[in-house]
Amino acid sequence: MEDDEGRAKQVAARRGVERVREGMRLALGTGSTAAAAVRAIHERFPNGSFDCVSSSRATEDLARTLGISVRPLKSDDRFDLMLDGADEVTPNLDLTKGGGGALLREKLLARLSHEVVIMVDPSKLVDRLGTKAPIPVETVPFARTVLAHRFEHDGYRVRHRLGPDGRPYLTDNGNEILDLTPPRPLDDPAATLATLSGATGVVEVGLFVGLATLAIVGYPDGRVEERTRPA
């Protein structure tokens, strides 16, 4: 990550990792910024011991390569801290997530985490969700065509996510993803989330409303801004 965006993500990730303490129960997110955070954890605590669960195989593989052990989720799990990226962040700390396809596991881990710290570069800041990034909707494969038709009818531009090989992208849960571009940015993301989630065959929606506790915005020149949710 050598460009401005990459530098900004590194800056945000390093600041996020300043919140990590030895022995913490950590939920690890997915994507390039979350990966930068995992590398920064390794740099800061080369022999550190943590209790980690990951939101994706990709992050799990990276952590293990660095000697950070990752275990499966347990029924009564709670995490001190989740470190993750996002595709969009509003002033309210509502998020669009799932550009990396890990939305379901990310949302579950965020719900189980005391602190959910989102690290981004400034390109992710928006006034309203649905401005820059599509809304990823994870669907069971059987329902995908029906859901695509329905969402198009509801006014969304719908793109069926494909993998690099041109075949349907499959999540770690074996599901497919529809990326929805709304006709206009969302005035009420909670309402949109409720409507999309209610469609039969939808597994999870990449709108994260009221889950983030802190957003860290890194800039390529090393500056950092921290944003909390307005009271």
Instruction: Name the residues that contact ligand A5P, by CB under 6 A.
Output: 29-34, 84-87, 97-103, 106
| Catalytic (active site) residue 106 | yes
Instruction: Determine the length of the chain.
Output: 231
* Rounded CA separation 84/92 (Å): 17
State the CB neighbour count (10 A cutoff) for residue 74: 8
Among residues 93, 96, 98, 37, the alpha carbon closest in space to that of 215 is found at 93
Angle between helices 57-65 and 32-44 (to 10 degrees): 20
- In this structure, are strands 113-120 and 214-218 parallel, antiparallel, or unpaired? parallel
Nearer to ligand A5P, 100 or 130 (CB): 100
Least Å distance, CB 34 to ligand A5P, is 6
The H-or-E segment that residue 42 falls in is helix 32-44
Provide, rounded to whole angstroms, the least separation between the CB of residue 139 and ligand A5P: 15
- Dihedral, 9, 129, 105, 58 alpha carbons, nearest 10: -30
Nearest distance from residue 22's CB to ligand A5P, in Å? 25
**Shortest distance, CB of residue 47 to ligand A5P, whole angstroms?**
27
Task: Report the C-alpha gap between 160 and 146 in whole angstroms.
Answer: 12
Quote the crossing angle between the two packed helices 32-44 and 4-17, to the nearest 10°.
50
Q: Which of 60, 88, 106, 138 is catalytic?
A: 106
Residue 11 CB, shortest distance to ligand A5P, in Å, is 13
Distance CA 40, CA 8 (A): 14
Q: Give the active site residues.
A: 106
